[in-house]
Amino acid sequence: MTACPFTRGRTITRCLDDLARDHPSIRALEVGRIRSVTETTGHSTKHIACHPAVATLVSVDASAATRKPALEVVAAEHHGKIEFVDADAIAWLADADPAVVGTFDFIYLDGLNDADFCLKVLALAATVAAPGAIIIQDDTDGPPNVVKGDRVKPYAYGHPELFEVLADVPHDVTCHGMLVLRMP
């Protein structure tokens, strides 16, 4: 696999590499598909869908307009892995098909920049996560107008029975920090 120079891509790939040792056929979920239609470097969709051990990526985003630019950065051979869901993540997760509960090995959260939204999504994501799943919340370390970690971080650290904090990746020039959690 091509080495990724961006912290976010490297973190996602390392987590998927770790999971792949026990799960050669990873089921992945992402909330928040694309930053902008012009950005071409950091897309989570690309880093997840193009990983060789990922069999399925369910990609949830409120905006259907993000489908096309997301596909443009994913090699065509991986398009078949992606199941697009255009929906509010809270509504979709709260009403999750019983068939998907407890099935996702890898979950990447990067939706609305709202602390309450992020906490609700994390709690709901935990219900669809498989035992031992890795959950990443993106953008947990600034800049000051980014509040995605404001409630998620204290909640995760305060509930070791629910989440093991595997890494608290600080911000750098390529990302705004990431909290990496493992489900029991």
Ligand X SMILES: C[S@@+](CC[C@H](N)C(=O)[O-])C[C@H]1O[C@@H](n2cnc3c(N)ncnc32)[C@H](O)[C@@H]1O
- Long-range (24+ apart) CB contacts under 8 A made by 15-24 are 15/106, 15/134, 15/136, 15/180, 16/48, 16/51, 16/53, 16/54, 16/106, 17/51, 17/53, 18/134, 19/53, 19/105, 19/106, 19/134, 20/51, 20/52, 20/53, 22/132, 23/53, 23/105, 24/53
- C-alpha separations of 61 from 14, 125, 134 in Å: 24, 14, 20
For ligand X, the binding residue among 62, 130, 133, 152 (CB under 6 A) is 62
For ligand X, the binding residue among 7, 26, 28, 32 (CB under 6 A) is 32
The answer to whether 178 contacts ligand X (rule: CB under 6 A) is no
Distance in Å, CB of 184 to ligand X, minimum: 26
**Given the rule CB under 6 A, which of 19-27, 40-48, 74-82, 95-103 is the region that contacts ligand X?**
40-48
Give the CA count within 13 Å in the CB-facing half-sphere of 96. Answer: 21
d(C-alpha 139, C-alpha 8), whole Å: 10
The answer to whether 86 contacts ligand X (rule: CB under 6 A) is no
**Given the rule CB under 6 A, which of 56-64, 123-131, 153-161, 170-178 is the region that contacts ligand X?**
56-64
For ligand X, the binding residue among 24, 25, 52, 63 (CB under 6 A) is 63
Residue 92 vs 184, nearer CB to ligand X: 92
For ligand X, the binding residue among 11, 28, 29, 43 (CB under 6 A) is 43
The answer to whether 69 contacts ligand X (rule: CB under 6 A) is no
| Site size with ligand X, rule: CB under 6 A | 18
- C-alpha separations of 113 from 37, 68, 165 in Å: 18, 22, 21
**Given the rule CB under 6 A, which of 62-70, 126-134, 150-158, 165-173 is the region that contacts ligand X?**
62-70
Residues that bind ligand X (CB under 6 A): 31-35, 42-44, 60-63, 66, 88-89, 110-112
